[in-house]
Every structure is written in C-alpha cells, then in structure tokens.
Structure 1
C-alpha cells in the first residue's frame, strides 16, 4: 500500500525524490564513485607515495573496505589544502573523476532505458540530489529538464523535470559542497537551495533513494528539516527505499524521529516498476479525492476511495473549505462513516498499512477537534479502542508495531482534553500488559506537573 501512496503523490504532482550516490552506482553498475572513493582518488592524485592516504584513511583487513580515520568532511578539508599547495583545486579534481566514472560508456543501458521511460512519462517529479554528477540532465531526460545548481543558469521553460543539485554539480565545480566549511555555510546560509530543499521536504511526499540510513548527507538534511518543520495540517510523508532488511529497532527509530517509513527488500528496478503498476489505481484515488465535496453533500463515501493515507487530510480540508464546523453533527456523522470504512479496510488481506493510517487519522482528528461534548465521543473512543488493541510495542504476529509507534510518538500532539478522555476510558490493565500503553499515561501525568 505504500507504493499506492507514492503513486497518488505522483499523480497529484506532489512527489519529490531525494537521490543519493546509490542511484548513480545502480545506473553505472557501481562505476560511479562513493564519497569515500572520491576522496581516496583525490589523495592518490597527490602523488606523495600514499603519505596523505595513510594519514586520512584505513583499510579494513577483513572486508577490504576503506574508511576515513576522521569525518569525511574533515578529510576533504585536509585534501583541499594539500591540493591547493600543489596549485590544484579539489573541486576540479572531483569533477574530473566523476566525468571519467559516470558517462555513456559506464551507464547500464538496460537500466537507462527503463528509468528514462519512467521519467519520460512522469516528468512532474522533483529530483533533489546531493550527487554531483549529471545523470538526470545529460542521460535520463536530457531534452526536458531544468537544472537548479549554484552558478548554473536556469532555463526559462517552466516545464519538465526539475533537478535540484543542492550540494552543487560538476557543471560548475565551484558550487560543490564538500568540506566541513562548505557544509556549515550551506546549513546556515539562507539561500534559494536550502529554502527550496526544506520546502519540498515539508510540502511534498518524499522518497529517499540511494542512501544508507547512516549517510552523513541524509541525516544532516533530515535533522535540519526536523528543526525547521512548520506545524500545519499537511502531513509530510517520507519513504526510505532499501534492498536490504532493516532491523526493527532501526525502523522504529526513523519512523519515530523523522516520520520515515522504511520499504525494505526493494531495489530501484522494483521501486519504479511498483509505482508504474499502481498508477492506474492512483488515478482512481485522485479522482475520488476530487469528488470529496460531492461525497460529503450526498453523505456517502466509497470504501476503496479511502485506501490512501492522504484521503483523511483531503476530507478534513474539504469540510473546512465548505464552511462546515468539524464539531457539527453533519461533519462528525460523515467522519464516523469514514472511520467505519477505514476499519473495514484493515480487515482485508495484507492491509497492515491501513492500521497505521487508522491510528494516524484518529490522532489527526483528536489534534484539531475537542471531542468530549460531541455526538461522536463514544464512537471515537470505540475506534481508539479498536486501534489500541491491534497494536504492540514489539513484533508480534497479528499486531501492528507501526500503529504503536504512531500513538507513542504523536500522543502529545492531541488536545489535552482528548488525551484525558482516552485515558479515562481505556482498560489500563489490559494495555499495560499487551502494549505498554502505561508509558504514554506516565508521560501524560508527568507533563501535567510541569
């Protein structure tokens, strides 16, 4: 179902791909250099009998992998100084290495044709990349794109694929963000690129491709986005695509901290294939979202139109735009029907995402509407009970740990009286034993003392 949500964002022209080095390596059968291999090649170009290499890097005796003895931005800073002493510029060396490693001779033609076909049909995507290469603009969609990079002229045609090189591009080597000083300047400079990056992260659905979860660039961007997040009705959806299996604890940390949902065991070929396969369904969902006003006026909604997690936000926005108070009997009666249908979706086969949606929708409502004195109070508590009894802190068959993470991490977002309403009515002994929901109540009680 996550693929459907991404496809819906694509159909709504609200999809951003955050692209890292792994994408370039996929496109070139690993010819494209990683960040550490870029710096290693720079050190080898010093021709000092590996003196600088040995000072900055170490080779693991078992895996043969090279890693920096220091943070790589510091290694880059040192290499910049050493190259400058020899009358050379590190960013021009970087551009030269990438040009040699990423070109038409190194690109996997099958991957190129497959990816080019996808983007040709879906050019409304925003591509935000920390890569320096020009894969997208020169090879994937060369005839229909606009490049945004420091010091690079922007085309006037307001169409095609928007490619944001937030850390610079080899088109203008001086723009490359590489050293510790560069990162500090980028982070604290109020530039077009930094503003655009965080706007896209907050206002669109974001899919992270080609990064490891421990990647410096990725975590620097996520931390800054978290710190600059503006609270609003729009919920930012972030997905991380990996071909590996990710430990439950790591998934839980990224979901709790950044709101990132991990889609594991999915390589890039499968990712683009699954999005394409879901586009027809996504078009139906988007059409249904456009008809929400009619559904509200008629007092009826089709269950299958509620499969996307974005549906509830669209319904709330439509009710508000129609001038209907969210506490009115008419609004709450419609929302009751929505929640009943959404719960029915959780009972379908392989519908675990629906449990997470259901929990988040209840939290969204309780974050905006005081429910104690409404006609919807008892129904709301019934839905909360249904959600809580199907969640678990740990991985247990038949229970949703992601629904638990939603309640656990977003508890404080709900209105105070709604939190107290829930606490008054849950079976405390049952949930203490099954879900450790007592932790939530304890934090709630402690917050009342502050």
Structure 2
C-alpha cells in the first residue's frame, strides 16, 4: 500500500480500488442524515431518537432512556415493560418495536439529491456496500444496479450488481431488524456469518466508512480482526480503511490513527463526493492514456516477426530497448497479460541472436545476448515475472554461458560484461537462478556461471 499523505492520495487510492474491483463502502446513519437533510417529507433518526419514538408510540415512560445502559439493553427494557403493561409476550413486544422502527426508517431521498448521488456512485463504482442502517436509501439511489441482502442472507456477488448488505436488518423486513440485547447476542455467536464475513471484506478492500464513528461493537471487532488477526499482506494491493470524520473545521490533509485507519475530515458529505467525482474524471483520462500506452507497446511486441524491429531492439537504436524494458519494469501486476506478448518478442530476439552467432568468429552475438538477458534481470522485478518468462531467461542464460569467458572459443566481450555486471544482479535474482539451475539436470553451464558469483 502506498503511503497516503494528501487529499489527492486518498482520492487516487479510492479510484484505483474502484478500477480494480476492490472498493467497498461501510455506511452508517450519518450518511442517511446527510441525504435527508432539508427533505420535505422524510427524516433520518439516530438510534437514541428511534428509541424515544418507540417509547412515545408504545406509551412507555421516557425516563427509561436516561438509563446508563447501552442502546440494545434499553431496547430490551422497553420491550419487557411493554409486554408487562399490555399482558403480551416479550416476543410480541419486540415485534411491535421492530414494526415501529421499520415504519420510521422507510424513507426516500428527494429526486435531485438522488440524481447527484447516483452520478457519484456510478462514476466510482463499489464492489460492495455494507450498512448498519435499516433504511433503503442506497437502494433508491442505485436502482436496479444493486441487490439488497438482509442479515440472514449470504453475501451474494452478481455480475454488474452491487450487493448492499444490511448487517442490522432492513426496514422492509421488520423481523430482520437488530435492536435488542438478544439480537446482538445472537450476532456475536462464534458461527455467525456476519461476524465471520466482515473482517474479510475489510481486509481485501479499500473501505470508505461514511457516517459512522466506530461505535458499533460489530464493526470495531471486524476492524480489529482485519488489522490484527488476519495479518496477511498483498504488497501494493493492500488497501486501507478510510473513515470520513465529520467536523466543522476539517483538516486539509488526511492522517492515520493508531489502529491504521486513515482519517479524512469532512464538513459536508456531498462536497466530498463532488470533489471525488471531479478528481475521478481526470483520473479516468490519465488511466485511458495509460491504456493507450499499454496497447501501443502490445502492438510493438506483436512485431516479433519483423527483422528490422528485432534488430533495432537488440541494438537499442534510439534507446528503444531501454524504453521497452523500463515499461515492463514499471508495469502494474494487473496488466500481467502484457508479458505474454513480451515473452514472444524476447524469445524472437533470442533466436535472432542465436542466428547471428552461427557464422565463424561472431562472438559479439554472445555478448549482445548476455547484455539483453542482464538488462531484463537487472531492471524488471522478478516477483512480477511469470514463471514461464523467468524460465526462458534462465534457459537462455544457460545457453550463452558456454561462450562466456576468456578461453579459445569463448566471447571475451561477454566474459568482460559478466565480470562487470554480475554484482549488479540482486540477491533475489541470483537465488532464483540457483533454484532454477538446481531443479534441472541439464543446466550445467548456468551452474558453472553462478559459481563465480
């Protein structure tokens, strides 16, 4: 993961994750409040406000809200008191509360706001959305491009559909709503699907937390597991958790908290999305330009049968070899398919050099072949090379190794090049060559060459 120091770093990381299919949103009640701000018909409620409404509609003394218990514990107390006062079962009282909550959270954004956020989400598509909200505001924004998942459902991934996973339930299924202490106790059973799934989602994606202040025990646990239990890494494809933190006077640049979460302060969620949207347009232009560069290099490598192209590459005419090797060296792993074309091109160059070496006394060709192999091994990260490509280089080095030296029948220039360049090969490359040589019975020349390092 690249270090994130500026707002532009945050935006670029988000755009990269979206492009790679590794962007996820974790949405809390603050998001719905921002969406419904100044809404004519609907209002968004906090958990405390919902419990107050429940007390009013269930005719329970609101002094119960002053209790220092957690919200789930207060919800349980309200239901117990309601069941006693109305001579019904506790389960019926819970059902009553969940129906009230279902009704109050069945809200809709205004059309103009919906259109803005639909544009934002479509331009920077997420692979998944997890929410602690009961409402279906996100479903209203995304329309038919999403699938809503209740807590008892599996995390379904369908092509071109964004799964919205309601871990605390969804308003159109009252029984799914998680509100009482018992509901939470059920969630924390060791085999609960949600509890097992959340850490993996967070570990494998760049997660943007919106309207959420890390107060929910489910999410705190998932973040802890993602950071401290599942400690596997994937190098440049490690992604951070980015929390949008509401404040009246936001700092310009992000900062990293002790738990590794990147904090990005915002005073207006719509402004954040608008700025991200504008940034993504420039990012997409830059990305399309890079795609054009990739395609132009693929077209170049497809000229492997053109003798002039191959000879110019071998001779590094106008720096063409340096340019192509540097391109491959900096190629992100998601473009690994380009190696298929590069493999064929380099193999053709090796065959051309073998032909050049056939005339009597053409020892220069061995030097040129060694130069090409060393250029690639020095500059291209070995971890990015497909095994087949590295194997072709190792076999080519074995072939030319028989002609590297200062005896009759050997290329003095190649011997001089090897003496000058072998120390520039990384330890990782040397180890990989040794492993390749030792795994085969026929690479005697390569083994002999490596003994001199």
Q: TM > 0.5 between the two?
A: yes
Q: Distance in 1 between matches of 2:189 and 2:425?
A: 49
> Where do residues 350-365 of structure 1 align in structure 2 (5 Å cutoff)?
none
Partner of 1:93: 97
The secondary structure found in structure 1 opposite 2:144 is: coil
Q: Distance in 1 between matches of 2:280 and 2:328?
A: 19
2:45 maps to 1:33? yes
Partner of 2:189: 188
Partner of 1:128: 130
Partner of 2:390: none
Report how far residue 302 of structure 1 moved. 11
* Cα 1:173/1:375, change in 2 over 3 Å: same
The secondary structure found in structure 2 opposite 1:242 is: strand
Q: Distance in 2 between matches of 1:12 and 1:20?
A: 25
Report how far residue 74 of structure 1 moved. 1.8
Cα deviation, 1:57-109, whole Å, max 9, x if unaligned, reads 2xxxxxxxxxx5222222222223233433343354244335335424xx344
Unmatched tracts of structure 2, length 5 or more: 1-7, 299-320, 344-373, 382-422, 428-453
Partner of 1:274: 275
Q: Distance in 2 between matches of 1:199 and 1:269?
A: 29
For residue 299 of structure 1, the aligned residue among 325, 329, 338 is: 325
Report how far residue 316 of structure 1 moved. 11
Instruction: Give the superposed CA RMSD.
Output: 4.3
* Cα 1:251/1:36, change in 2 over 3 Å: farther
* Cα 1:218/1:45, change in 2 over 3 Å: same
2:77 maps to 1:78? yes
Report how far residue 173 of structure 1 moved. 2.0
The secondary structure found in structure 2 opposite 1:143 is: helix
Verify the 8 A CA contact 1:130 1:166 in the aligned structure 2: yes
Q: If the length of structure 1 is used for normalisation, what is the TM-score?
A: 0.57
Q: If the length of structure 2 is used for normalisation, what is the TM-score?
A: 0.57
Q: Distance in 2 between matches of 1:95 and 1:296?
A: 69
> Where do residues 269-418 of structure 1 align in structure 2 (5 Å cutoff)?
269-283=270-284, 284-285=286-287, 288=290, 291=294, 298-301=324-327, 333-334=379-380
The secondary structure found in structure 1 opposite 2:133 is: coil
The secondary structure found in structure 2 opposite 1:232 is: coil
Verify the 8 A CA contact 2:195 2:218 in the aligned structure 1: no
The structure number with the bigger radius of gyration is 2
Q: Distance in 2 between matches of 1:83 and 1:297?
A: 76
Verify the 8 A CA contact 1:241 1:267 in the aligned structure 2: no
Verify the 8 A CA contact 2:157 2:163 in the aligned structure 1: no
Q: Distance in 1 between matches of 2:262 and 2:154?
A: 36
For residue 64 of structure 2, the aligned residue among 17, 32, 55 is: 55
Q: Distance in 2 between matches of 1:332 and 1:273?
A: 44
Verify the 8 A CA contact 2:203 2:227 in the aligned structure 1: no
Verify the 8 A CA contact 1:20 1:130 in the aligned structure 2: yes
Partner of 1:235: 238
Q: Distance in 2 between matches of 1:201 and 1:246?
A: 25
Q: Distance in 2 between matches of 1:80 and 1:330?
A: 71
Unmatched tracts of structure 1, length 5 or more: 58-67, 336-372, 378-450
* Cα 1:156/1:72, change in 2 over 3 Å: closer
* Cα 1:315/1:263, change in 2 over 3 Å: farther
Report how far residue 280 of structure 1 moved. 3.5
Partner of 1:352: none
Report how far residue 17 of structure 1 moved. 0.5
Partner of 1:46: 58
2:141 maps to 1:115? no
